[in-house]
């Protein structure tokens, strides 16, 4: 997930992510990060100015990785409906494959620890921007209802988030079949064909 960083930065970011998921942000100190990562405090400060700096870089790193992962589905050649399916399949696959990153983003996306400019950059970047464009394209082609694309994307993501959380915590089994049905339901909820038929 942090392959674009050097070894010291990777160790710090991976360790911080693990500690935060296990113990929460307030219990994550620079001393603990240094101890758990095997990187001296002085070396950490060479790359990061503060704990907040680490948290924000962690957030940016995960958002960037998630964006590249999901965009693989969105950028495939196919119909809008196919790309819709592939994009959301990648979101679900990513969330199940990298649960710590998923839980971190979900827990801290609106945290005051994350700088406002970082939040804005993440929201417009990552995979949300390209997904919003796909929805806008579907609206232009009159495939789905005319509603603000950003709201529809967040509405669908919210539904998937709860299913993934249930899976991570062992409350539900989020199988490929259930994922396909969930994506189908998301499409049906905004499809003009379905709306007209009703």
pLDDT digits (tens, 9 = 90+) for 150-173: 999 999 999 999 999 999 888 888
Q: Quick check: 60 pLDDT over 80?
A: yes
52 within 8 A of 113, measured Cβ to Cβ: yes
Note the pLDDT tens digit of each residue in 81-137: 999 999 999 999 999 999 999 999 888 888 888 888 888 877 776 898 899 999 999
- Residue 136, pLDDT score: 97
Tokens of residue 83, six digits: 């790309």
Task: Determine the pLDDT at residue 118.
Answer: 84
Q: Average pLDDT, stretch 168-182?
A: 90
Predicted pLDDT of residue 106: 87
Whole-angstrom distance, CA of residue 130 vs CA of residue 123: 11
Q: In the chain, count H helices and then E strands.
A: 11, 0
| Helix or strand holding residue 30 (H, E) | helix 30-37
The mean predicted confidence, pLDDT, of the chain is: 91
Select from 103, 97, 11 the least CA-distant residue to 57. Answer: 11
The larger pLDDT score, comparing residue 193 to residue 133, is at: 133
> DSSP code of 25?
G
Helix (H, G, I), strand (E, B) or coil at 50: coil
With 0.85 as the threshold, say if the pTM is over it: yes
Angle between helices 51-74 and 80-97 (to 10 degrees): 140
- Which pLDDT tens digit goes with each residue over 142-152? 999 999 999 99
User: Taking the alpha carbons of 129, 135, 136, 138 in that order, is the dihedral positive or negative?
Assistant: positive
pLDDT band at 8 (very low <50, low <70, confident <90, very high): very high
* Residues ≥6 apart with Cβ < 8 Å to 69: 90, 94, 127
Give the pLDDT confidence score for residue 195 in this predicted structure: 56
């Amino acid at each position: 997930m942090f392959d674009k960083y050097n070894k010291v930065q990777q160790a710090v970011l991976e360790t911080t992510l693990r500690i935060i998921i296990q113990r929460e942000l307030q219990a994550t100190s620079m001393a603990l990060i240094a101890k758990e990562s095997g990187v001296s405090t002085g070396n950490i400060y060479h790359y990061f100015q503060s704990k907040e700096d680490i948290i924000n870089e962690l957030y940016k790193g995960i958002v960037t990785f998630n964006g590249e992962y999901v965009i693989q589905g969105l950028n495939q050649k196919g119909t809008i409906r196919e790309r819709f399916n592939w994009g959301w399949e990648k979101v679900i696959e990513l969330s199940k494959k990298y649960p710590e990153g998923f839980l971190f983003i979900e827990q801290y996306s609106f945290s005051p620890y994350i700088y406002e400019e970082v939040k804005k950059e993440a929201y417009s970047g990552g995979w949300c921007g390209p997904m919003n464009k796909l929805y806008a394209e579907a609206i232009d082609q009159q495939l789905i209802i005319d509603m603000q694309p950003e709201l529809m994307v967040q509405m669908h993501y919210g539904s998937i988030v709860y299913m993934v959380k249930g899976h991570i915590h062992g409350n539900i089994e989020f199988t490929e079949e259930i994922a396909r049905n969930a994506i189908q339901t998301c499409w049906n909820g905004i499809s003009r064909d379905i709306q007209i038929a009703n």
